[in-house]
Amino acid sequence: MADQTRQSVPLNMQVVDISPAVVALAPDGAIGASDIVVRLLHDILQAQRQQLEIHREMLQLARENRQRQHAELEAWQRENQHVVERCREVLGTLSRVHSGMLSEMADYIRENDETLLESEFSISEFVDRFGPRLHHLSAMLGVLKQVSTPGSTEQGNQGS
């Protein structure tokens, strides 16, 4: 049966034969299973090499971007030394406010654990009560830390 199929197929097409000896038929003849495995492995290797090159390029771009951001922060800190000093002065206070809010949230969860587990309304109320304030306060604290930390750029560049 395989011989009949081979005779009726044009030369520019491949025929898949499921007999154990032949995996496929190409215009130049039979291709063995080991040849197909070698070709597939070669294709996989080529794809992995391309992915590796792309990852290296992405890593280099990320490093360049981080270095540029550090340089911009250092320049900003030099130009705005009075702002940096003020931020350093209030950083501890804002950190204590943040800690207090986290503690308040933990107390609320402890006191309302059953209600939070059973009621969708209670969860929504909890998120509305703590979510936006905590999110914004955390963002502000992060900015203050970045701006007011002396030598923050040198520490970041040491990791590069």
The pLDDT value recorded for residue 12 is: 59
The pLDDT value recorded for residue 37 is: 87
**CA–CA dist 151, 68 (Å, integer):** 15
Maximum mean pLDDT: which of 1-15, 93-107, 110-124, 143-157: 93-107
Asked whether the beta carbons of 25 and 10 are under 8 A apart, the reply is no
How many angstroms separate the Cα of 22 from the Cα of each of 2, 8, 52, 142, 158?
10, 18, 35, 65, 59
pLDDT digits (tens, 9 = 90+) for 22-75: 445 555 556 677 888 888 999 999 999 999 999 999 999 999 999 999 999 999
Residue burial 139-153, b: 16+ Cβ < 10 Å; e: rest: eebeebeebbbeebb
Asked whether the beta carbons of 23 and 17 are under 8 A apart, the reply is yes
